[in-house]
Each structure stands twice: as structure tokens, then as C-alpha cells.
Amino acid sequence: MTVLSEDSANATASRLNSAVYRLLVLLFVLTYLDCFLRDRSSQYEAVQPEGGTSAERLHLAPGLTVGAQASIADELLPAVLDDLRRARPDLSVQLRPDPDRSWLLAALDQAEIDVAVLLDAGEHVGDLGFAHPITPIEYLDVREVPMTVVVPPGHPLLRRPVTMQGIRQTGGLIGRESRCSFWMATERWLGPDTDLTAVGGLAQVREWVATGRGIALLPEFTVHADLGSRRIAQLDVPAPPLQLRLIWREDHKNANGLRQLLYALTQA
């Protein structure tokens, strides 16, 4: 049996304490590194989903060119653009209104605009009555556009339920011209053989109705002021709504990002 002197025992205890201390320091460092690496890893994984979105946002950042029918650019489109700016405040949006739908569709075919905003109906682009674009496209219906039949005050069809057949038999239907969405909506509702008279622009249609020279199917947003002032009246007949439709090319340079951006409007 070996007996240690007091000095030897103290030296051994000192070395043991030093070894324990170094071990504790090593464990502390390893524990810290493990926590640090785990934290960095979780941060990296959390950022990864945003990486793709950020790349898409950078791709869309230069701007979005939106073509729209002039008849809806002033009334319906501002709300859509407001939703778009809230969804993507970093995005610059350029609006190109034009009264000619065929020009908008041609501009979309030639990639001069990113999105076209049109009035349409049905399950396919062009079901309202205009030619389908040549390029394969996608579409999104943002909201319904209510339609109403307007007549002059004192018209015999007022203050009682009216049928489609009753409107057809009454006659005197007027519209802007055959390429107009409202004209197409009338023919789609009442039949392609419906007798319609072209009278010019929207202001002329409202004037003709107000002065008793015809009746017309128009979007409610175009006649709010006239109805409010009782310059014209609306019939008690349910008319099918149109759709405010966004369309874009399937082969758009950033179709996925554009699709996500536009579909976000439905959640705005």
C-alpha cells in the first residue's frame, strides 16, 4: 500500500481539478457549438422557401404592364390595381388602356403586355363572343360585374317582374356597336338573332335610353349616376353578370411568379 505525502496529495488533487476544469470547458464549447449550428441550420431552412420567392420577385421587380379595355379602366381597374399594389408594394405597374379588345389580345400575343384585363363570360376566354387569342393562355376571374336592363322613366315594363321573352318582344334594344362587350352580352343572353341598333358610344346609349328612344343591357357601374338621379330606371329582371377577367400567356417568362401574384388578388 502506497501512502502519499501531504504535498503529493495536494499535487494530485490540483492536477485532477485542472483536468476536470478542462473537461468542463470542452463540454461547454461543444454544447455551445451544437446549439449555434442547430440555430443556424434552422434559420437557413426557414429562409430557403423565401429564396425562390425572392428570385421571382426580383424577376418581376422591373414592372408589370397591364392592358385593359378603356370601358373598365376608369371604374373597375383601380380597385384591382390597389389590391395588386398592396400585395406587391415593390412592383411598378404600367397601365395601357385601349378601347380595342383585338389590339389588347394582339399585344398579349406579341408579349407587349404582361396581362390583359377584359370583360368576358363562360368557362373559356372568348365565350362572350370575341375570338380566342392565338397564344395558349391562362386566366383568372377577379370578380363579377353585375348587369342591368335600363329603360326611360315611365316605361310600361317598370314596377313588375319581366322575362327575357318580354324584353325581346318589347324591342327597341340599343347598344354601342357589335364589338362592344355589352352588345355581346346582350346577344349571349337574349340570343344571337336579337335585333340591336348601334348608336355610338356609351354616353349616346345612356342618352337614347333617357330620352325614350330605346332600352339597353349595361353594367351597373356605367349607370349608377343616371339611376341615382332618376334620369333612367332599371327593370326587375335578373341578367347574367359578366366576369372581370385577367388573362396572360402560358409561356410568360415568369409564368409561375405571375400566376402566384395574380391569384393573390383573390385573397386581397
Q: What is the mean pLDDT of the chain?
A: 79
CATH 3.10.20.30 fits 59-145+243-267, yes or no: no
CA distance 173 to 193: 12
CA distance 268 to 264: 7
Q: What is the pLDDT of residue 256?
A: 75
**Residue 242 confidence class, pLDDT cut points 50, 70, 90:** very high
Share of the chain above pLDDT 90, in %: 50
Q: Where are the domains of the chain?
A: 8-43, 59-145+243-267, 147-240
- pTM as predicted: 0.72
Cell triple for residue 243?
366576369
Share of the chain above pLDDT 70, in %: 75
The length of the chain in residues reads 268
CA distance 62 to 254: 12
What is the distance in angstroms between the CA of the first residue and the CA of the last residue of the chain? 87
CA distance 218 to 150: 7
- For every residue of 66-115, DSSP letters joined together read EEEEHHHHTTTHHHHHHHHHHH-TT--EEEEEES-HHHHHHHHHTTS-SE
- How confident is the model over 72-104, as pLDDT tens digits? 887 788 887 888 778 778 778 888 988 889 999
Domain 147-240, CATH homologous superfamily name and number: Periplasmic binding protein-like II (3.40.190.10)
**Residue 135 confidence class, pLDDT cut points 50, 70, 90:** confident
Q: Give residue 243's identity as a one-letter amino acid code.
A: Q
